[in-house]
Amino acid sequence: MSNSIRDTFFEECEDLLDALIEGLSEMSAGTHEEETVHAVFRAVHSIKGGAGAFGLDQLVNFAHTFETVLDRVRSGEMEIEPDLMRVLQRAGDHLSDLVEANRIESGVDETTHAGLLGQLNGFLGKEGEDDVADDGAEEFVFEALSIDIGAPMETAPQTAGFEIRFTPRPELYANGHEPLLLFQSLSQLGSLQVTCEYASPPLGASDWQAPAASWQLTLATSEPEHAIHEVFEFVEGLCELDVQPIPVGPEQPEQQVVTEPAQAPPPTDPLPKPDHPRSAEPRQESRPDPKPAGPRPTLRVDLERVDRLINTVGELIINQAVISQRIEEMNLPSGAGLTTELEDYKLLAREIQEGVMAIRAQPVKPLFQRMSRIVREASDATGKAARLVTEGESTEVDKTVVERLADPLTHMIRNAIDHGLENAEKRAQAGKEPVGTIRLAAFHRSGSVLIEVSDDGAGLNREKILEIAISKGLVSPEADLNPGEIDNLLFMPGFSTATEVSNLSGRGVGMDVVKTAITSLGGRVTIQTRAGEGTTFSIVLPLTLAVMDGMVVTVSDQTMVVPISSIIETIRPSPGELHRFGVDGWLLSIRGSYVPIVDVAGCLGTGDSRADIREQVLLLVQTEGQSHCALAVDGISDQRQVVIKSLEGNYGHIPGVSAATILGDGKIALIIDPDAVIANSSASLRRLPDPRLEKELPHGIAL
């Protein structure tokens, strides 16, 4: 069996499982339509069908039992009640596990497997019966050609052959049968003699309801009678068939000549309209829907091809920037008309780029749906009742983002249930409903994608967080941290809020891993928490991973790029707005508050001589701790779309730099990560050592 078809099977299973989980959660929420139940049934059914083709028996058997329960649900024999729903959802989860286990050729937890099979069978009213496997196996005998083992096995041929009288009814032709083919099959069993008899058809009549021809067949064979019936298996009920064994004896027909079977009379018009044998009323389910409500047609494309295209388009964007710059340098007279063409070119290039990126965009829905399982499992493991509410499932993000968010989201949700939600007692005391709510939301906001994970729990216990951070030596006891900074301690490596490591969140991953994963996607994660009301983790991600809008700046003679998404505004400060602070630090006064100024050159260690702050330009940015900060650069030259090029592949991570890009002149410019630069500045350094910082930085602002 070809491996590529096996791959197709597992790919298809992913889609089917997504549909299954989606349908089950709709059923659970009571928001489903009748078609939902059918779709759920079909998903399990298709998995079973495919699994059968690859001989994955365990999967087949489980899917079979699961499907049988679903079949009863869809026929209305079984009612959708909470207990059943619970089992169906867990069966869905287990089916995912089984598929995955078969894909990687490992096993599943036998106890869960047996337990769920038992529960499903319980609903079928055969609890404890051990016949499930047999059922499954029996199901998959190739019936059409199987030998009927129920028939008595002849030890020796009892007959010399058979006399067969075969009179087809018109339906036989209508069903696509051809008597000649049946005779050919028969002749493979022995030697066949065929005589055709025409009934005297009323002249001119076209009454095909009445048999027009019948055949008398003599088959000399040692095959048993059921072999004959097998040949006629498909036409049973479509003809009159009489099979008489010819006893062994001297009367055995001498004639062994095989005559060509007579060609059946061609059914010129076998289905006259007025006498259609079947009901003229089409079944509801089979009515061809002129506008099928199914998904829009899609095309499956090798991901590598898309990525190659994206790379090429990236080159096109760079090439466009190079051409623009070259033409600008030529100082053409303004009437040359080239500027308009160039502008068109730029727009077209951008349009192509957006179109290409859209190919990779996928809704977050399947990702969110997977999380409902995490909520169920975490809820079971902690004994805290929780439900998942999702919003903005149709929000589209890059495929890589969808893939790489699964682990961070899983961890955040487990964390939210384990540490965020209170136990039932405390919830009751607080006057909250007993079932906790985990909210997962996605939406677009000004060129970024925002994903929020919230709980309606007690909110972060800052006192305890600080205590833990101090006890673990992550922060000095004298440190004076604002609430936002305390919250961010959660993201520090080595921090875990669980004083007793629960078997749930304590799987050796901390929130620092979550943060690293999100940062590697070019995103940021922030925390908002309210005592008694809950906590929200907000993940801000770039819309696309390949291109972003950037502000081109100069930092000690080097051209660099700052992501527009993080800049609130650019400021050329007047001398009155700048205030010295500490040894060589500065504050910017803006709209009544003082904001620390971070010297980018100093933080990156690129400036040999410190520029005069009064001649620099400030970029006001929002930090992860929700406070503001001003980045000082030497100048701003442009605002443009840049293609993101990773530095990690050929070099490695550079503190304060997220990636690189190629500018119009072909030179490489580094893309600054404002959060990391600020974290690396000595202002933060004194109080919050940032793990990304590898060495003491020469310049910075003391606060």
Binding to another protein (CB under 8 A): which residues in 13-42?
A: 38-39, 41-42
Q: Which is nearer to another protein, 122 or 605 (CB)?
A: 605
Q: Which of residues 683-702 bind another protein (CB under 8 A)?
A: 694-695
The CB-of-464 to another protein minimum distance in angstroms stands at 35
Q: Which stretch binds another protein (CB under 8 A): 104-112, 172-180, 252-260, 504-512?
A: 172-180
Residue 368: CB atoms within 10 A of its CB come to: 24
The verdict on 484 binding another protein (CB under 8 A) reads: no
Considering only 86, 426, 579, 667, the residue that binds another protein (CB under 8 A) is: 667
Q: Which of residues 204-233 bind another protein (CB under 8 A)?
A: 233
Q: Which is nearer to another protein, 274 or 294 (CB)?
A: 294
Q: Which of residues 55-84 bind another protein (CB under 8 A)?
A: 55
Q: Which stretch binds another protein (CB under 8 A): 278-286, 301-309, 569-577, 614-622?
A: 278-286
For the beta sheet containing 585-590, the strands, ordered from the edge strand earlier in sequence to the opposite edge, are 567-571, 617-622, 628-633, 593-599, 585-590, 578-581
Residues comprising the chain, all counted: 703
How far apart (Å, rounded) are the C-alpha atoms in residues 120 and 132? 11
- Interface map 494-513 toward another protein (x if CB under 8 A): --------------------
The CB-of-662 to another protein minimum distance in angstroms stands at 5
User: Which of 117, 7, 14, 17 lies closest to 54 in space, CA to CA?
Assistant: 7
The CB-of-392 to another protein minimum distance in angstroms stands at 26
Q: Which stretch binds another protein (CB under 8 A): 331-339, 527-535, 624-632, 645-653?
A: 645-653
The CB-of-387 to another protein minimum distance in angstroms stands at 29
Helical (H) or strand (E) element with 515: helix 511-520
How far apart (Å, rounded) are the C-alpha atoms in residues 49 and 54? 9
The verdict on 141 binding another protein (CB under 8 A) reads: yes
Q: Which of residues 99-138 bind another protein (CB under 8 A)?
A: 138
14 burial level (CB within 10 Å; 0-12, 13-18, 19+): middle
How far apart (Å, rounded) are the C-alpha atoms in residues 519 and 541? 9
How far apart (Å, rounded) are the C-alpha atoms in residues 175 and 277? 11
The CB-of-560 to another protein minimum distance in angstroms stands at 9
- Which residue is it, tokens 């490596």? 493
Q: Which stretch binds another protein (CB under 8 A): 90-98, 356-364, 392-400, 604-612?
A: 604-612
The verdict on 249 binding another protein (CB under 8 A) reads: no
The verdict on 654 binding another protein (CB under 8 A) reads: yes
CB 161 within 8 A of CB 246: yes
Considering only 58, 112, 167, 175, the residue that binds another protein (CB under 8 A) is: 175
The verdict on 669 binding another protein (CB under 8 A) reads: yes
**Cα–Cα distance list, 342 to 320, 323, 665, 676 (Å):** 9, 9, 17, 37
220-225, long-range: CB within 8 Å, 24+ apart, which pairs? 220/160, 220/161, 220/190, 220/191, 220/192, 220/246, 220/252, 220/253, 220/256, 221/161, 221/162, 221/189, 221/190, 221/191, 222/157, 222/159, 222/190, 223/189, 223/190, 224/151, 224/154, 224/157, 225/159, 225/162
The verdict on 150 binding another protein (CB under 8 A) reads: no
Coil, helix or strand at residue 506 = coil
Q: Where are the alpha helices (DSSP H) in 416-461?
A: 424-429
The CB-of-295 to another protein minimum distance in angstroms stands at 9
Q: Which is nearer to another protein, 140 or 345 (CB)?
A: 140
Q: Which of residues 519-558 bind another protein (CB under 8 A)?
A: 558
Q: Which of residues 317-336 bind another protein (CB under 8 A)?
A: 318
The verdict on 237 binding another protein (CB under 8 A) reads: yes
The CB-of-297 to another protein minimum distance in angstroms stands at 9
Q: Which residues, other chains included, contact 215 with Cβ-Cβ below 8 Å and sequence gap of 6+?
A: 164, 165, 166, 167, 179, 183, 194, 195, 196, 197, 261, 262
The CB-of-318 to another protein minimum distance in angstroms stands at 7
Q: Which stretch binds another protein (CB under 8 A): 118-126, 266-274, 365-373, 614-622?
A: 266-274
Q: Which is nearer to another protein, 40 or 475 (CB)?
A: 40
The verdict on 296 binding another protein (CB under 8 A) reads: no
Q: Which is nearer to another protein, 329 or 433 (CB)?
A: 329
**Cα–Cα distance list, 185 to 231, 384, 402, 644, 648 (Å):** 7, 66, 56, 67, 68
Q: Which stretch binds another protein (CB under 8 A): 150-158, 284-292, 492-500, 562-570?
A: 284-292
User: What is the rounded end-to-end Cα distance, in angstroms, of the chain?
Assistant: 69
Q: Which stretch binds another protein (CB under 8 A): 98-106, 461-469, 473-481, 648-656?
A: 648-656
How far apart (Å, rounded) are the C-alpha atoms in residues 456 and 417? 10
Considering only 110, 287, 499, 508, the residue that binds another protein (CB under 8 A) is: 287
**Cα–Cα distance list, 381 to 92, 147, 374, 377, 428 (Å):** 18, 51, 10, 6, 20
Helical (H) or strand (E) element with 343: helix 338-360
The verdict on 176 binding another protein (CB under 8 A) reads: yes
Q: What are the backbone angles phi and psi of residue 558, rounded to the nearest 5°? A: -100, 140
The CB-of-698 to another protein minimum distance in angstroms stands at 11
Coil, helix or strand at residue 600 = helix
The CB-of-648 to another protein minimum distance in angstroms stands at 8
Q: Which is nearer to another protein, 81 or 285 (CB)?
A: 285
Considering only 147, 151, 181, 301, the residue that binds another protein (CB under 8 A) is: 181
Q: Which stretch binds another protein (CB under 8 A): 84-92, 96-104, 282-290, 349-357?
A: 282-290
The verdict on 192 binding another protein (CB under 8 A) reads: no
The CB-of-670 to another protein minimum distance in angstroms stands at 7
Q: Which residues, other chains included, contact 286 with Cβ-Cβ below 8 Å and sequence gap of 6+?
A: none
The CB-of-356 to another protein minimum distance in angstroms stands at 16
Coil, helix or strand at residue 423 = coil
Considering only 50, 92, 224, 392, the residue that binds another protein (CB under 8 A) is: 50
Q: Site for another protein (CB under 8 A): how many residues? A: 88
Structure tokens at 339: 């500027």
Q: Which of residues 560-589 bind another protein (CB under 8 A)?
A: none
Q: Which of residues 351-380 bind another protein (CB under 8 A)?
A: none
Q: Output the CA torsion 417→420→421→426 (10° steps).
A: 150
CB 637 within 8 A of CB 552: yes
The CB-of-604 to another protein minimum distance in angstroms stands at 4
Q: What are the backbone angles phi and psi of residue 95, rounded to the nearest 5°? A: -60, -40
For residue 578, the cross-strand partners are 588
The verdict on 143 binding another protein (CB under 8 A) reads: yes
Q: Which is nearer to another protein, 15 or 433 (CB)?
A: 15
Q: Which of residues 412-431 bind another protein (CB under 8 A)?
A: none
The verdict on 169 binding another protein (CB under 8 A) reads: no
Considering only 504, 657, 702, 703, the residue that binds another protein (CB under 8 A) is: 657
How far apart (Å, rounded) are the C-alpha atoms in residues 87 and 369? 17
CB 356 within 8 A of CB 309: yes
The CB-of-554 to another protein minimum distance in angstroms stands at 13
The verdict on 266 binding another protein (CB under 8 A) reads: no
